[in-house]
Amino acid sequence: MKIETKFNLDDIVYSLTKSKNRIKKTCVLCKGSGEVTIENTNRIISCPDCYGHGYHVEDAGEMWIIHSKSGGKIGKVEVELYSEEYERENKVKYMIDSTGVGSGTVWYEENIFKTKKEAQKECDKRNLELENE
């Protein structure tokens, strides 16, 4: 049996992952200053709504991102092959040094790309699909 994989050990690759998309919204109470003045006094205190940050972070759904802009080196390749009688999907999984090899993140082949340009193109495509859901 000869097993061929899309990537090999020591290849530098770029992986895609879903991430929470968060946006900063200017605090309405302090208008972004992080401070409020107590009425009828000259006393200025840290804004009680945003705790002095001047903004609130809000969840704006999920989006696909390139996990590491500098990529990672493949340190482990794992192949799962099943006989047709088991009706299970064959899978190729990888571990890369930027997320840990042996006890880190397992990356599926469909989420790994040879170049940053390919990864960004797929990222943009997937994010457009998320927007259209």
**pLDDT tens, residue by residue, 55-67:** 999 888 899 999 9
Instruction: Give the number of domains in the chain.
Output: 2
Q: Does residue 5 belong to any structural domain of this protein?
A: no
Q: Does residue 112 belong to any structural domain of this protein?
A: yes
Q: What residue type is 124 in one-letter code?
A: D
User: Containing domain of residue 48, as a range?
Assistant: 22-62
| Predicted pLDDT at 16 | 95
Both 48 and 91 in one domain: the answer is no
| Predicted pLDDT at 70 | 86
Both 70 and 119 in one domain: the answer is yes
101 burial level (CB within 10 Å; 0-12, 13-18, 19+): middle
Residues 110, 95: Cα–Cα separation, whole Å: 13
| Predicted pLDDT at 61 | 84
Q: Does residue 69 belong to any structural domain of this protein?
A: yes
| Residue 17 CB contacts under 8 Å (≥ 6 apart), including other chains | 64, 65, 67, 111
Both 82 and 118 in one domain: the answer is yes
Residues 69-122 pLDDT 10s: 889 999 999 998 898 888 888 899 999 998 889 888 999 999 999 999 999 999
